[in-house]
Amino acid sequence: MDVRQIRLTIAYDGTDFAGWQIQPGLPTIQESVESALEKMLGRRPQVMGSGRTDAGVHAIGQVATFLTSATYEPAIFRNALNAFLPDTIRVRHADEVSQAFHPTLDARSKRYRYRVDNGPVADPMKFRYAHHVPRPLDESEMRAAASWLIGRHDFAAFQTVGSERISTVRRIFACDVIRVDDEVHIEVEADGFLYNMVRSIAGTLILVGSGKWATRRVADVLKSCDRKIAGPTAPAKGLTKLRVNFESPRFEPGWMKYK
């Protein structure tokens, strides 16, 4: 029978998982999806994700693929997998793609959002998905500081220990700071990310927003390539992978707003 490649768009609450990638003895998203496929198909295909997310990180637009000879329509895969997956993981969309498609190598950019609960008292409804900072943040100052990060730079100062990347050079297409009522959202779109890069950027911009750092200091940190002088790594729970783009990003302001 002909082999097909099915692409999944997956959303998950990462709170109770040790990240995307399979780890022996630990609950992971990849393990859960492969297990659900095994229940559906009677065999266990390997699922390949478009990059990894760490323990506690969420997603609404993770992309993954697998090979199968099953003839089901893509919507059947979506519905059946959702019947077998835990409530904290959902396949939002499924389609068939060419076997030449690669979810990592063909990705042109990825977008993440870091959520800050900026109310004076932490909102318990946001506890799993946002980092609480009670001190009022100046989003305009954060936005000004974020502008230094746009473009192609060496982001070594925003990489924590544990990365296997050879090069620390990446291109950020957009780094937006948006206030939504009592929340501040930091959204970063790039051609790739270093280990904990978005969380390190978030921790640094929070220092600017709280008045502890001047905006120009972010440029100095970037130029230094020294992790020790950047801000702290913000907690994992505030980070969500929004989507993966498989077309070349454009540069018009605001075009990447998630809908």
From 26, 29, 33, select the one nearest 6 (Cα to Cα). 33
Which residue in 117, 135, 144, 137 sits closest to 214, CA to CA? 144
Catalytic site residue from 54, 182, 191, 220: 54
Distance of CA 84 to the CA centre of its chain: 24
**Active site includes 123?**
no
| 252 CB-near residues (< 8 Å, 6+ apart) | none
Separation of alpha carbons 257 and 259, rounded Å: 6
Tell me 172's DSSP state: E
| CB-based contacts of 130-134 (< 8 A; 24+ apart in sequence) | 130/183, 130/237, 130/238, 131/202, 131/234, 131/235, 131/237, 131/238, 133/184, 133/206, 133/210
The catalytic site residues sit at 54
